[in-house]
Structure 1
């Protein structure tokens, strides 16, 4: 039988998760701006795409608190300060934080919610934890590409898509300037990493 929600640890964990997701969304929005300033539109798009998903996670956690509308929940918690001029380090910070949510935080929150009898909340924590793993993998992949100087260069000929106009370029590197829309190389991504281009 469920315990009283107002006296539960799950209530506090939901607010911790909402705070964490809200901060992650802002950090990724800041990261997107930093990437834009560095002419790395593809990294900007990755940060923005992930920020939008974090907003949805925050809303899911927040909606579980609906019965406490009008109340104030006081929590403690630790949250990261991910400030650096290095785009690689920024991606590594994001990767670490996403893995921490997957490996430790949300699994523990899900277990506690289950123990306290809040199965719908436990399901949200467990399902979102899986998504955070995907986020971490994605940030890590782009950090690897930058570290290896392969974000716009490939060992073999491949297709590159301009994320601005959709032009496809074949070669071992993305063009410095898109021949169609004149946007810079930062808008190019390997075709297999471009949105909505997978083969069915």
Structure 2
């Protein structure tokens, strides 16, 4: 997936932007350039996720952190996400790092 994102931001959207410029469509060229920037961030995210998978840190951290069940919202604090949510019994795969973004 990361390689696909890389191709999108380094080649596909770059070429779209160049074509739009050549065709006298500078506003569309800017949009394609901005989409390329988004695709670059996708690549970086996928590579970080892959790092976490390889390091065994998807559901495990070195220090206690907050984990949130995406099914019911239960929040657990500890170095790892529970194997099973004690509130709704969903598996560990439903957990993500808890982030307050409000």
Q: TM-score, length-normalised on structure 2?
A: 0.90
Q: How does 1:27-46 map to 2 (within 5 A)?
A: none
Structure that is richer in helix per residue: 1
Q: Distance in 2 between matches of 1:126 and 1:116?
A: 15
Structure that is richer in strand per residue: 2
Q: How many residues align?
A: 102
Q: TM-score, length-normalised on structure 1?
A: 0.48
Q: What is the Cα deviation at residue 146 of structure 1?
A: 0.8
* Bigger Cα displacement from structure 2, 131-140 vs 155-164: 131-140
Q: What is the Cα deviation at residue 126 of structure 1?
A: 1.0
Deviations 1:61-116 (A, max 9, x none): xxxxxxxxxxxxxxxxxxxxxxxxxxxxxxxxx11111121122211220221122
Deviations 1:22-66 (A, max 9, x none): xxxxxxxxxxxxxxxxxxxxxxxxxxxxxxxxxxxxxxxxxxxxx
Q: Distance in 2 between matches of 1:104 and 1:116?
A: 18
Deviations 1:108-155 (A, max 9, x none): 220221122022321221111111112112222211111111100000
The residue number in structure 1 matching 2:101 is 198
Q: How does 1:1-200 map to 2 (within 5 A)?
A: 94-192=1-99, 197-198=100-101
Can you give the 5+ residue segments of structure 2 that lack an aligned partner in the other structure? none
Can you give the 5+ residue segments of structure 1 that lack an aligned partner in the other structure? 1-93
CA RMSD of aligned residues (A): 1.4
